[in-house]
């Protein structure tokens, strides 16, 4: 009996494989997508080359949506009113897109370390998230590259939403 107890406690073998999810990450140029993801993967951000001109390819974003199981939308919470309006329109389009409208969204309000950063409440109100995203699964999280614990926590919350979707019974 002692041997079985020892074996049960100590010899469980490798952990089960973790599920993998296909998640699309979108946002305007300068919002910090590449920097956040690089820091999250413990890569050096000194060599990150800005993907300027990415706003010109917004019309192609939908090509990346197929097969996605979740969405990360990064916005610059310290941007100009004009850029914030563009980000708002893009987020609204994504939330209403047929391939994304049922998926969980993680909205990262980046650049919270800047003096002009808007609070989560200001962003929630300006982006009209409560009425627009009613019935959808979404998280709005303030963040910056200087506080990766918040970003990691946000990703954990998104994974929880993705796992909940996996547990939902199939609809007939």
Order of strands, sheet of 138-142, starting from the edge strand that comes earlier in the sequence: 23-27, 70-76, 105-110, 138-142
Q: How far apart are CA 144 and CA 74, in angstroms?
A: 11
- pLDDT per position as a tens digit, 110-141: 999 999 999 999 999 999 888 776 777 889 99
Strand segments, DSSP code E, in 57-146 are 70-76, 105-110, 138-142
Q: What is the pLDDT of residue 79?
A: 95
- For the domain spanning 19-47+68-166, the CATH number is 3.40.50.300
């Amino acid at each position: 009996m002692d041997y079985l107890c020892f074996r049960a406690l100590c010899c469980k073998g490798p952990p089960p494989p973790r599920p993998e999810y296909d998640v699309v990450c979108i946002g305007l140029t300068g919002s910090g997508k590449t920097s956040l993801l690089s820091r999250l993967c413990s890569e050096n951000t000194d060599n990150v080359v800005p993907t300027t001109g990415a706003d010109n390819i917004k019309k192609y974003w939908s090509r990346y949506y197929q097969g996605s199981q979740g969405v990360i939308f990064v916005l610059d919470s310290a941007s100009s009113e004009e850029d914030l309006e563009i980000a708002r329109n893009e987020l609204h389009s994504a939330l209403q897109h047929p391939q994304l409208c049922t998926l969980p969204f993680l909205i990262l309000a980046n650049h919270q370390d800047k003096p002009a950063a808007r609070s989560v409440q200001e962003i929630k109100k300006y982006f009209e998230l409560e009425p627009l995203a009613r019935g959808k699964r979404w998280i709005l999280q303030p963040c910056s590259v200087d506080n990766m614990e918040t970003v990691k926590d946000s990703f954990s919350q998104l994974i929880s939403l993705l796992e909940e979707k996996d547990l939902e019974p199939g609809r007939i």
